[in-house]
Amino acid sequence: MPFIQTQVSISVTKEQEEKLKERLGQAITVIGKSETWLMIRLEDNCRLFFQGEKSEKIAFVEIKLYGKADRQSYEEMTKRVSDIFEEVLDIPKNKLYVTYQEYSHWGFNGSNF
């Protein structure tokens, strides 16, 4: 039950969107989750500011999951997410934040896990 929400300051083509979806689906296995349950939200053309400036290329990525993962898994996931956004959208690693939230209650299909 992972959810990845992304906000980027640039326009994203359908091809880039597909690549992001595919690559994030592969990367989520690092924290013990599966693409089978992965939901992704991609917002492009967001007005984002970093270090007091409106950056041309910037991204904010939130990763929410049911359960927990260890610090090493989060480190590897951050590396992969940073690589993905740099390779697919040309967003520099120093213009990207990644956050994580863990949940002990998660609803789906009318009930909770």
8-21: pLDDT as tens digits: 999 999 999 999 99
Q: How far is CA 61 from CA 47, 101, 113, in A?
A: 14, 11, 24
CA atoms 76, 50, 13, 2: torsion sign: positive
Alpha-carbon distance of 107 to 113, in angstroms, equals 6
87-112: pLDDT as tens digits: 999 999 999 999 999 999 999 999 98
pTM > 0.75: yes
Mean pLDDT of the chain: 95
